[in-house]
């Protein structure tokens, strides 16, 4: 299951990003709709002032993650394996989804300048939007008080929305494709094995593998340690952090077939949490990735535009 959350200030482009995800087969759960539904049930007028007041009231009475907790049962009840959360406001809400869905929840931050956001807000004419710049700034301050800045800082991916709508749609599509390729249980099967010598400590060898593939289930058979994994997320994050995605692309494409690709990793580098494709004197970590479209998986984890 893949659950994506979009986070950003009002007018940053969250609704447009959500529409892109919806077009790719994601079912939308809008947190703002949960508040508005709550208001309709109680006959409360939908206005900027009332929506803000009710949202604050819910958080004061039930905790800062109150609206997320209202949405979680709805997400659980969906038959779809692809869900997008629209309208995250604070870090407490992000934490609630991460506690509930673990690594299946990914947060995407969308950023834009206040001027660009205000123009978008004025043009969409939604009942709860602020129509003056002063009111717009007040709404920003309210969302900051809800922990929006902290939520933005914990995002798995960032998208800048200062350009055209088409540019935003392209960026969102690329990020969704990448996350879809990396999330567990998407049909990726990873086999790893490495020789273990008498001079080596088994715990260290296993730690080296799990530094790259944290979910690996490992076992020892004579002089080999073997295991399986189902996600390339940590591997991809390390490529990005080390700024070696272009080099990694060239290396991974060397041994790609119709349904798999293979590569080796330096065991000593892996022990300190680094990706290095050079051979190891004590024998490398051999990795084989089986996937329906291995070339697309490689592109997804090495694409330098996915930030």
Domain count, the chain: 2
Which of 182, 206, 228 marks a domain boundary?
182
Q: What are phi and psi of 293, to 5 degrees?
A: -135, 80
Rounded to 5 degrees, what angle do the CA atoms 54, 63, 104 make? 105
Instruction: Name the DSSP letter for residue 280.
Output: -
Assess whether 110 and 210 both reside in one domain: no
Residue 307 lies in a domain: no
Q: Where does residue 103 rank: exposed (0-12), middle (13-18), buried (19+ CB within 10 A)?
A: middle
End-to-end CA distance of the chain: 22
Sequence-distant (≥ 6) Cβ neighbours of residue 57 within 8 angstroms: none
The strand pair at 260-265 and 285-290 is best described as: antiparallel
Instruction: Tell me if the pTM is above 0.85.
Output: no
Residue 57 lies in a domain: yes
Taking a C-beta distance cutoff of 8 angstroms, is the pair 159, 146 a contact? no
Taking a C-beta distance cutoff of 8 angstroms, is the pair 294, 263 a contact? no
In tens, the pLDDT along 200-219 reads: 999 999 999 999 998 888 99
Assess whether 236 and 143 both reside in one domain: no
In tens, the pLDDT along 88-130 reads: 878 999 999 999 888 789 999 998 888 878 777 766 655 444 5
Tokens 């996600």: give the residue. Answer: 231
Question: Which residue has better confidence, 105 or 9?
Answer: 105
- The domain of 288 spans 189-302
């Amino acid at each position: 299951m893949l659950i994506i959350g979009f986070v950003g200030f009002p007018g940053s482009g969250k609704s447009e990003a959500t529409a892109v995800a919806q077009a790719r087969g994601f079912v939308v759960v809008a947190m703002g709709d949960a508040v508005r539904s709550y208001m309709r049930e109680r006959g409360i007028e939908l206005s900027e002032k009332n929506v803000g007041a009710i949202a604050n009231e819910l958080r004061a009475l039930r905790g800062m993650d109150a609206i997320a907790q209202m949405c979680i049962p709805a997400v659980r009840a969906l038959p779809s394996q692809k869900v997008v959360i629209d309208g995250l406001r604070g870090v407490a809400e992000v934490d609630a989804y991460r506690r509930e869905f673990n690594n299946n929840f990914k947060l995407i931050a969308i950023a834009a300048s206040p001027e660009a956001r205000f123009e978008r807000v004025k043009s969409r004419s939604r009942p709860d939007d602020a129509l003056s710049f002063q009111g717009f700034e007040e709404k920003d301050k309210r969302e900051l008080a809800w922990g929006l800045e902290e939520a933005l800082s914990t995002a798995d991916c960032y998208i800048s929305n200062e350009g055209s709508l088409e540019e935003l749609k392209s960026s969102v599509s690329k990020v969704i494709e990448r996350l879809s390729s990396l999330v567990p249980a998407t049909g990726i099967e990873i086999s790893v094995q490495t020789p273990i010598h008498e001079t080596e400590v088994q715990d260290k060898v296993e730690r080296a593998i799990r530094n790259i593939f944290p979910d690996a289930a490992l076992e020892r058979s004579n002089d080999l340690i073997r295991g399986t994994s189902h996600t390339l997320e940590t591997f991809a994050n390390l490529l990005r952090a080390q700024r070696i995605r272009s080099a990694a692309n060239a290396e991974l494409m060397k041994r790609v077939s119709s349904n798999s690709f293979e590569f080796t990793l330096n065991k000593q580098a892996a022990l300190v949490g680094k990706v290095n494709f050079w051979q190891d004197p004590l024998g490398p970590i051999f990795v084989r990735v089986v996937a329906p479209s291995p070339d697309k998986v490689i592109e997804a984890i090495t694409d330098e535009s996915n930030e």
